[in-house]
Structure 1
Amino acid sequence: MPVTPKTLKSAAFAALAATTGFAAISAAPIAAHDHSKKSAPNIVETAQSTGVHTTLVAAVTAADLGGTLQNPGPFTVFAPTDTAFAKLPDGTVSTLLRPENKGQLTSVLVYHAVSGSVTSSDLVKLIEKHGGEASIDTLAGEKLTARLAGDTIVITDAAGRATAVTQADVQTSNGVIHVTDGVFLPA
């Protein structure tokens, strides 16, 4: 059964209130995958292989979203690094990973996902088409705002927290990953 924004939104979502700031940092580059093999890695397999997305993979596992992100998609995922998660207030990640907070964790994670394969070129075109800012609908049913800061795509969440895309267009078999230096938190 294909996963749609509607089926994901039917999960129990709760808002997470946290305040944090993000500064542009460089993420370790994700190694290019050998797509000449019969089956290219999907979003989850790619995140597992980077060495900088351990927290994200643990969160996806705790929220039982691994199967969803292995579906054909396509999906676009803004993938925070371990360093990005470490910038959250102390205790935020461990609290979210508790079984009783699965709804909150799911809400945070699907706020990082967009239906379809949206490349950085697509984002830049949308930003330019809409006068410098483009609204992005997430699978959580909330919006992100994309803009350019020089040559960097900056994504702002509903609470006004800005996060830079530090590595764009990591292609997977079921979509694209954009590595970010911050975590989006729903309003």
Structure 2
Amino acid sequence: MMRAPALLCGALLLTSCGGDPIEAGDAAPKSKVANMPVVHEIRITDALATMRQHPDFTIFADLVRKADLAQRLSGKAPITVFAPADSAFDKLTVERRAALLDPAQRNALVRFVAAHVLVGRASARDLTEAIAKGQGTAKFQTLAGKPLSISRTDLNMAEAPPASDPDVAETVPTRASDMLVVTEEGGGSSLVTATDLEASNGVVHVLESVLVP
């Protein structure tokens, strides 16, 4: 008959010492909550600001400003920008790069920048659907008023393996190697290396080469 008080005493002792660690461990969850990283709100900016904030578009963003097209690319009218990465300008000759910065050739600079901008918003999905409807090629109009053709190419199929070499594996088209190709009428063409950089007034796609009108 004396065991019940002993058990009760033991229970009271556990309670006073903290008891169940799950119930007595309020401090641990509070510590985790206090140390949780703060998630900052992602602010989507206009196309020009998006390029200015990106480390790979410093040259093209500067050319937009020099061409006095900053207001057009930062306005509310929807646009699609095919922005050449800074490395794309390394492919130009010294003379061509100098011409882009020549104040006497400002009209040519305006045409150059405008050749990389579409009127209206076109995401990668929009471009893909337009290519399918166009049976392999989609046509758009640039801000310069010239046609821009967009198609797809499979990098794995760019070079066929030699039939005489049995050790070379046959190339097989894959979605991963299927890339968009942009061609400006009377100008150049470029692969699209990244897509869908969201902007408040449209979208920015990344080019590996410039489209020289």
Task: Write the distance in 2 (CA, Å) between the matches of 1:159 and 1:103.
Answer: 17
**Identity over the aligned pairs, expressed in percent?**
34
Q: Which structure 2 segments of 5+ residues have no match? A: 1-38, 155-177
- Is structure 2 residue 67 aligned with structure 1 residue 63? yes
Superposition pairs of residues 36-47 of structure 1, within 5 angstroms: 36=41, 40-47=44-51
Sort the Cα spacing of 1:68 and 1:128 in 2 relative to 1 into closer, same or farther, 3 A: same
TM-score, length-scaled by structure 1: 0.76
Matched-pair contact (CA < 8 Å) for 2:127–2:150: yes
**Per-residue deviation, residues 27-75 of structure 1 (Å, max 9, x unmatched):** xxxxxxx9945x5211111111111111101111111111111101211
Match of 1:164 in 2: 191
Matched-pair contact (CA < 8 Å) for 1:158–1:185: no
Paired AA for residue 164 in structure 1: L
TM-score, length-scaled by structure 2: 0.67
Superposition pairs of residues 70-89 of structure 1, within 5 angstroms: 70-89=74-93
Larger radius of gyration: 2
Match of 1:184 in 2: 211
Task: Write the distance in 2 (CA, Å) between the matches of 1:74 and 1:149.
Answer: 27
Paired AA for residue 64 in structure 1: D
Pairwise CA RMSD of aligned residues? 1.7
Q: Which structure 1 segments of 5+ residues have no match? A: 1-33
> Which of these residues, 188, 191, 201, is aligned with residue 174 of structure 1?
201
Number of equivalenced pairs = 152
Structure 1 runs of 4+ off > 2 angstroms?
34-37, 159-162
Task: Write the distance in 2 (CA, Å) between the matches of 1:152 and 1:162.
Answer: 13
Paired AA for residue 85 in structure 1: F
